[in-house]
Amino acid sequence: MSLYGVMRSSVSGMSAQSSKLSAVSDNIINSATVGYKRVETEFSSITMPSGSGTYNSGAVEARSRYAISTAGNLDFTTSVTDLAIEGNGFFVVADSDGTPALTRAGRFVADDTGDLINTAGYYLQGYDLGTGGVPAVVANSMAGMTTVNVAQMQLDADPTTAGSMGGNLPSNATAVLAGSWPSDNVAGSDFTAKTSMVTYDNLGNEVTVDIYFTKKSASPASSVWEVSVFNQADADPATGGFPYAAAPTSPLGTPYTNPLSTTDLTFDNTTGDITGTDFVLFDIPDGQTGVNFSLSEMTQLAKEFGSVNPEMNGNPPQAVESISIDSDGTLYAVYENGNREARFKIPLANVASPDNLDPMGGEVFRTSSDSGDVVVGFAGENGLGTMRSMAIENSNVDLATELTNMVVAQRSFSANSKVFQTGSDLLTEVVNLSR
């Protein structure tokens, strides 16, 4: 082993400890950085071949590895768009050029256009549910995603498409003579019972419909009731009812007829239950066609008319009041009336060896040849963790460990510098021998 070898070995040791101190420094300064993954420095020896009776000094090599698979502790916040993952997986983000990456840093805020962006300038990616349904996920690709936007949540109106009502029709009611049933729509039309319900057209306007129940006939075995639906706006102003305008034109210029629909209900006189058709289909002016109004819970018993749980779906225009994000990654718009509508599905991605991902700036990572291919799915499925809104993942740095590592690296650096100094002193002695 030459004196130069001693000095080269000690320089190698100082260089390795310097790398470790750099990693420790990065860890300490990023200990409060959301989603940061600590750097671990590992050493491996480099040996040189030696002849018989001689020894050639080697060196040491420092290699850095990111502890990406180790999760940090969660902190809870008051922002719905702060997201954390409990378990495996990464958020899919993209830079301004659309290049995808992975991250655990989930502190997202809306920019001036409503796009969710984190502190490093990466945009959260997800599947837009505005077209209905969840797009097919490409399991090994991040294609098909778009930037999650919370500003494009304008007023929303849902037209009525269905309804239902239970209740009772009196079994002892007298049958109304033909020619004066509501379906005839003549002045003086007679009926047994009437109720009204509010529906909504395609623009969210209220359309109140009058629903008439009329006993048409009865036999020992069964009774037949007519159900007729009219647009209340077309009622005769003088009578508040019949005759309704026979062929009015809607505000949008589409003519329709009154009644909007008519059907017959048949009741078993023994049980009081409906034995045949138990619904009526009708079209709402300027609204949906074929609205299914279920009457399956109606009975015919010896009691006066009464309705139970009358319901029509749909709602008038509602403003988005807030958003919410479920544990499966579904982002909902929450309207003033409390209704929720799914707008985006936020996926998670993972790789076979997360610790071998390539780190980029801003706590994001990209796949490498050693990490394996990306696998995309949804939270809570196929080994992926769950998503938690109003939470962030802190760095996985332990300050006590890092301070200990700093002291150890400092002492090792000092020891190597002492070896170098000793080699230098010996070399000086050799040089002095020639004087």
Q: List the single range of 74-88, 287-301, 394-408 with lowest mean pLDDT.
A: 394-408
How far is it, in rounded angstroms, from Cα 408 to Cα 274? 86
How far is it, in rounded angstroms, from Cα 99 to Cα 298? 59
Q: Which residue has the tokens 């420092």?
A: 62
Helix (H) or strand (E) holding 401: helix 399-432
Mean residue pLDDT of the chain comes to 88
Q: How distant is the alpha carbon of residue 340 from its chain centre?
A: 12
How far is it, in rounded angstroms, from Cα 117 to Cα 94? 9
CATH of residue 183: 2.60.98.20
**Under a CB-based contact definition with an 8 Å cutoff, are residues 96 and 355 in contact?**
no
Are 144 and 288 found together in one domain?
Answer: no
Are 224 and 298 found together in one domain?
Answer: yes
- Give the per-residue pLDDT at 321: 84
Are 60 and 88 found together in one domain?
Answer: no
Q: Which residue has the tokens 């930037």?
A: 147
DSSP string, 69-110: TSPPPEEE-S-TTBEEEESS-EEEEE-TT--EEEES--BEEE
Q: Which residues contact 219 (CB under 8 A, 6 or more apart)?
A: 269
Are 169 and 310 found together in one domain?
Answer: yes
Are 131 and 25 found together in one domain?
Answer: no
Q: Model confidence over 395-418: pLDDT tens digits?
A: 999 999 889 988 888 887 778 777
Average pLDDT estimate for 177-185: 95
Q: How distant is the alpha carbon of residue 138 from its chain centre?
A: 17
| 300, 317, 334 - which closes a domain | 317
Average pLDDT estimate for 330-346: 88
Range of the domain at 55: 3-70+396-432
- Distances, alpha carbon 327 to alpha carbons 294, 375, 378, in Å: 35, 19, 10
> Which pLDDT band holds residue 330 (cuts at 50, 70, 90)?
very high
How far is it, in rounded angstroms, from Cα 336 to Cα 319? 6
Q: Where are the beta strands (DSSP E) in 269-314?
A: 279-282, 291-294, 298-301, 306-312
Q: Model confidence over 271-280: pLDDT tens digits?
A: 999 999 999 9
> Which pLDDT band holds residue 59 (cuts at 50, 70, 90)?
low
> Which pLDDT band holds residue 50 (cuts at 50, 70, 90)?
low
Q: Model confidence over 60-81: pLDDT tens digits?
A: 777 888 899 999 999 999 999 9
- HSE-CB for 259 with a 13 A CA cutoff: 25
| 278, 295, 317 - which closes a domain | 317
How far is it, in rounded angstroms, from Cα 209 to Cα 68? 62
Number of domains in the chain: 3
Are 165 and 267 found together in one domain?
Answer: yes
- Give the per-residue pLDDT at 131: 60
Are 411 and 350 found together in one domain?
Answer: no
Are 298 and 334 found together in one domain?
Answer: no
> Which pLDDT band holds residue 149 (cuts at 50, 70, 90)?
very high
- Distances, alpha carbon 243 to alpha carbons 181, 189, 215, 256, 295, in Å: 11, 8, 19, 15, 25
Q: Which residue has the tokens 């420094």?
A: 25
Dig out the tokens for 48 from the structure: 């040189």
- Give the per-residue pLDDT at 337: 79
User: Is residue 215 classed as helix, strand or coil in its secondary structure?
Assistant: strand
Residues in the chain: 435
How far is it, in rounded angstroms, from Cα 13 to Cα 57? 12
Question: From the CB of residue 72, how many other CB atoms can be counted at a distance below 10 Å?
Answer: 22
Are 304 and 166 found together in one domain?
Answer: yes
- HSE-CB for 28 with a 13 A CA cutoff: 14
pTM for the model stands at 0.68
Amino acid symbol at 8: R
Q: Model confidence over 183-201: pLDDT tens digits?
A: 999 999 999 999 999 999 9
Are 227 and 335 found together in one domain?
Answer: no
Are 163 and 302 found together in one domain?
Answer: yes
Residue 291's nearest CA partner among 131, 157, 164, 133 is: 164
Is the previous residue joined to 243 through a cis bond, with omega within 30 degrees of 0? yes
Say what percent of the chain tops pLDDT 70: 91
Are 191 and 309 found together in one domain?
Answer: yes
| 284, 317, 350 - which closes a domain | 317
In what order do the strands lie in the sheet containing 222-231? 193-200, 206-218, 222-231, 261-268
- Give the per-residue pLDDT at 2: 65
How far is it, in rounded angstroms, from Cα 315 to Cα 300? 31
